[in-house]
Structure 1
Amino acid sequence: MVAMRLPARLCPKPRILFVGINPSLTSARVGHHFAGPGNPFYRLLQAAGFVPRPMTFVDDVRLPEYGLALTNIAERATREAAELTAADYARGRKRLARTIATIRPAVVAFVGSTAYRQFFGPGSTSGPGAKPERVCGATVFVVPNPSGRNAAYPRFVDKLVWYRRLRRWVDRLDD
């Protein structure tokens, strides 16, 4: 069986590089990030002011127009992140570090604490918000995973608080 992969949506020097864990099977099948039924990622981007109009997963190719880029730490699509192996994450860390060094984002925003911890290791701080680490000069922030399975942030408004904080934080960096 051939592993399904999803191309990253990259641009040079984005304001923010959003980094998810890995693509869902649905996202890999349709060729767009955060394509799961009801996934609010694009609604969060619009409500937080990152994009000026409502978007859906088919608009992920337009994110670079707004200075946003999107990738995952692990490339292999799975039904659940728990299916990923240590080798998937090891390859992903190397690839992500190269991507960050190449495109030079101002901010690396990990979409969920799992993606953040998989990149920085078990000693990294937990929870959403600004982090002390830097990657190739980029500052680091964690926003809640938008998945409906995210028990820590079950409601849209709970997630939106952190996406808005990221927006304010990035705006301060621009000043």
Structure 2
Amino acid sequence: MANLPPVVEPVPHLPDVLAENLDAVFCGINPALSAAIAGHHFSNPSNRFWRTLHLAGFTPHLIPATQDYTLLRYGYGITAAVARPTVSAGDLAPRELRAAVPDLERKLLYYRPRVIAFLGKPAISAIVRKPAVAWGQQAFTFAGSSVWVLPNPSGLNRAFSLNALVSAYRELREAL
């Protein structure tokens, strides 16, 4: 029997949750591989995204990750700076973040959200090519949208408690 090459399973693609003219689009760094396999954003039980959104007032009830598309009903969407799923955002090379900018910009120009909220600093830092970006509302726009930088809700982000996440996200909600 001949030596066959190993079977390489294709990495699943996680579709965006987007519509035109949303109030805000939450932009993660890239999808977790587990979320891409599950087919839903922020599906890891340790991720605090859905709970944070609810507690900050974006949704009237806690949305399960399996119903991520229902976020559109409330005027919000989800995308990622880099579409390639990885086990950890640390698996992305900085050049991947920079290379993703034109596609992200094109997408946001098409959908025209009022605000793009970057979840964590790495993506927006790569976009504006500044190592230091402050939390909260930024003085610049991206693709015609106001820019906010919010803490990443990943369960791995121990620098922010749930209360701190809710407080940061509520600031955006109140500004909207």
* TM-score normalised by structure 2 residue count: 0.89
Instruction: Count residues with an aligned counterpart.
Output: 168
Share of identical aligned residues, percent?
33
Is the CA contact (8 Å cut-off) linking 1:73 and 1:119 kept in structure 2?
no
User: In the alignment, which of 153, 167, 174 is matched to residue 168 of structure 1?
Assistant: 174
In the TM superposition, 1:86-165 aligns within 5 A as: 86-122=94-130, 125-153=132-160, 155-165=161-171
Is the CA contact (8 Å cut-off) linking 1:21 and 1:111 kept in structure 2?
yes
Is the CA contact (8 Å cut-off) linking 1:20 and 1:110 kept in structure 2?
yes
Amino acid at match of 1:160: V
SS at 1:98's partner residue? helix
When Rg is computed on C-alpha atoms for both structures, the one with the higher figure is: 2
CA distance in 2, matches of 1:60, 1:164: 19
CA distance in 2, matches of 1:25, 1:18: 18
User: In the alignment, which of 9, 20, 36 is matched to residue 12 of structure 1?
Assistant: 20
User: In the alignment, which of 66, 71, 76 is matched to residue 74 of structure 2?
Assistant: 66
Q: Report Cα offsets for 1:137-164 as digits up to 9, x if no partner.
A: 21111111001211321x1001111011
CA distance in 2, matches of 1:31, 1:72: 14
Equivalent position of 1:173 in the other structure: none
In the TM superposition, 1:24-103 aligns within 5 A as: 24-103=32-111
CA shift for structure 1 position 87: 4.4
CA distance in 2, matches of 1:143, 1:54: 19
Amino acid at match of 1:80: S
Is the CA contact (8 Å cut-off) linking 2:114 and 2:145 kept in structure 1?
yes
Q: Report Cα offsets for 1:28-73 as digits up to 9, x if no partner.
A: 0000111112211011111111111111111211111111011000
Structure 2: gaps of 5 or more residues: 1-7
Amino acid at match of 2:156: R
Is the CA contact (8 Å cut-off) linking 2:94 and 2:126 kept in structure 1?
no
CA distance in 2, matches of 1:85, 1:3: 17
CA distance in 2, matches of 1:23, 1:148: 14
CA distance in 1, matches of 2:121, 2:152: 8
